[in-house]
């Protein structure tokens, strides 16, 4: 866990190492509070970073783009208006603060000076083939709103620390 704090909670999803800008202007919509992160397509079903315990809604480390006026939505691989990466799970887990639901806000990190680690990313391609990461890989939003190295419209960041079996966190230097 090079460069990371020793107090990382395994299900936290995202750790900000160098903060560029935080934005809390954008609102959440019902779809991004209720989206199922584990069911719906082959890529979701094959993702080894998600499980039946994964909460619904936007996840910490999910990529967001502009929806209707004032609303941030889960980004896809075709979005050109990518905003940043979500800081907290929108719904959260049992017995923890559900600030996204309570406030209706979607706090996200953006800015090229931002560096973070996340353990939520696509482990398979759209065709469900295994996907690995290496330092220097360009990262995009997947059709599910998670980071992937499968080419998309907008480069979200660069992989600076590849995840491994002993440390599943991927280090990312943002580009947006």
Binning pLDDT at 50, 70 and 90, where does residue 10 land? very low
Binning pLDDT at 50, 70 and 90, where does residue 54 land? confident
Max mean pLDDT among 35-49, 54-68, 90-104, 134-148 falls in 134-148
Task: Output the pLDDT for position 147.
Answer: 98
Q: Could you tell me the residue ranges of all domains in the chain?
A: 17-174
Compute, in degrees rounded to 10, the torsion defined by CA atoms 133, 87, 76, 29.
160
Q: For the segment 74-111, what is each residue's pLDDT rounded down to a tens digit?
A: 999 999 999 999 988 877 555 555 666 667 888 899 99
User: b vs e for 47-65, b when ≥16 Cβ sit within 10 Å of the residue's Cβ?
Assistant: bebbeeebbebbbbbbbbb
Secondary structure (DSSP) of the chain = -TTS-TT--TT--EEEEE--EEE--PBP-HHHHH--SSSSSHHHHH-TT--TTSPSS--TT-EEEE-STTBEEE--TT-S-EEEEESS-SS--TTS--HHHHH-B--EEESTT-EEEES-B-SB-TT--B----TT-EEEE-TTSSEESS--SS--EEEEE---SS--PEEEEE--
CA 13 to chain centre: 8
Contact 169, 117 (CB under 8 A): yes
| pTM score of the predicted model | 0.88
Task: Output the pLDDT for position 61.
Answer: 93
């Amino acid at each position: 866990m090079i460069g990371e704090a020793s107090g990382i909670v395994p299900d936290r999803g995202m750790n900000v190492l160098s903060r560029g800008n935080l934005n809390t202007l954008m609102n959440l919509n019902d779809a991004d509070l209720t989206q199922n992160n584990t069911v719906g397509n082959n890529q979701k079903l094959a993702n080894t970073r998600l499980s039946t315990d994964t909460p619904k809604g936007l996840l910490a480390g999910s990529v967001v783009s502009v929806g209707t006026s004032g609303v941030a939505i889960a980004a896809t691989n075709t979005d050109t208006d990518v905003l940043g990466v979500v800081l907290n799970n929108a719904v959260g887990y049992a017995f923890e603060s559900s600030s996204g639901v309570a406030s209706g806000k979607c706090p996200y990190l953006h800015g090229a000076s931002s560096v973070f680690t996340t353990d939520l990313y696509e482990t398979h391609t759209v065709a469900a083939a295994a996907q690995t990461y290496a330092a220097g890989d360009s990262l995009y939003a997947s059709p599910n709103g998670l980071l992937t190295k499968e080419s998309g419209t907008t480069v979200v960041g660069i992989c600076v620390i590849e995840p491994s079996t002993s440390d599943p966190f991927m280090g990312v230097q943002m580009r947006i």
